[in-house]
Amino acid sequence: AAGGFADVLTSLEAPLLGICVGMQVMFEGSDEDGAEGLGLFAGRVRQLVDAPTLPHIGWNDLEVTPGAYLFEDSAPVVYFVHSYAPEPADPSVVTATARHGSTFSAAVSAGMRHGVQFHPERSGPVGLAILARFVELCRSKARAA
């Protein structure tokens, strides 16, 4: 994806948070209609494997990587609406996973770039805490500038 908005996002030196499809767009591409992504993270977005239902809609537990910045809780419950999830080329960027059939990447982080496959705005107090931590990251970056 080249030009305009894509160039701004790929050159951004500020915190960035992709939510649901916004997280998917951060990857190189998607098997959903062969869409091209921004390439902020290496890997592709693929349809959920062995999912009992598609789309995956509803509340689900996360398994959070210890020390993952956006998460205060090691096992939060969050709200999903999706049929696809990214498969990062570098597993070290995965900060949370969930299961719907098979295990999938539910959150990624690298530097100031973060993505969540779920909807924090629909995830009650847990989601608000995640968004508050991202806002604090933005404030810290602004103070340092």
**Does the annotation count 121 as an active-site position?**
yes
The residue from 13, 20, 28, 114 that is catalytic is 20
Active site residue 119: yes
32, 36, 72, 121: which one is catalytic? Answer: 121
Instruction: Name the active-site residue from 63, 119, 136, 138.
Output: 119
Mind giving me the DSSP string for the chain? Answer: --STHHHHHHH--S-EEEETHHHHHTEEEESSTT-B---SEEEEEEEPSS-SSSSEEEEEE-EEPTT-TT-SSSS-EEEEEESEEEEESSGGGEEEEEEESEEEEEEEEETTEEEESS-GGGSHHHHHHHHHHHHHHHHHHHHH-
- Annotated catalytic residues are 20, 119, 121
